[in-house]
Amino acid sequence: MKVNFSEFISILIHNTDLIFTNYVKATLYPFNLAPEQNLIMMLLWEQDGLNQNEIADKLKKDKTNVARMISNLEQKGFIHRVTGEDRRSLRVYLTDQGKELGDDVIPLIHQFNDLVCKGITDEEIEQMRRILLKMSANVQ
């Protein structure tokens, strides 16, 4: 049985993700922010005060990995954690430095999205969204 590497859509998606990640990594480097850390920051810029479980669920990452990324962001001074009534329920909040970082990074996120979507219609974007969700559901 033969394999044609280029016929697998999963390989194309993977390679596209690598290109995107490398671009974002280079863009965020001056801000001392890794691409995966940026995903947490984006969630907090959208809604400050999420708990670690909510962040893990939204990112589809395991809680240990998210806790490590949050710890790194806290060491950088971008966020702080607050323990709630239930010690297992840590809420994550932006610091002033984290909010200021958003002033610099959020426009770059929008520019990147515009670059990625250049020449693609809203209908094509919506169709791609539906297709990717179907693919994800197929694997789950």
- Give residue-wise pLDDT tens across range 63-72: 999 999 999 9
Among 66, 31, 30, which Cα is nearest to 51's?
66
CA distances in angstroms from 82 to 88, 89, 100, listed in the order given: 11, 9, 20
Q: What is the reported pLDDT for 88?
A: 64
DSSP string over 14-59: HHHHHHHHHHHHHHHGGGT--HHHHHHHHHHHHSTTEEHHHHHHHH
Decide if pLDDT at 86 tops 80. Answer: no
Decide if pLDDT at 73 tops 80. Answer: yes
Burial of residue 74 (CB within 10 Å: 0-12, 13-18, 19+) is middle
Q: What is the reported pLDDT for 56?
A: 95
**5 falls in which pLDDT band (50, 70, 90)?**
confident
Decide if pLDDT at 87 tops 90. Answer: no
- Write down the domain spans for the chain: 5-139
**6 falls in which pLDDT band (50, 70, 90)?**
confident
Coil, helix or strand for 123?
helix
The CATH class for the domain spanning 5-139 reads: mainly alpha
Coil, helix or strand for 30?
helix
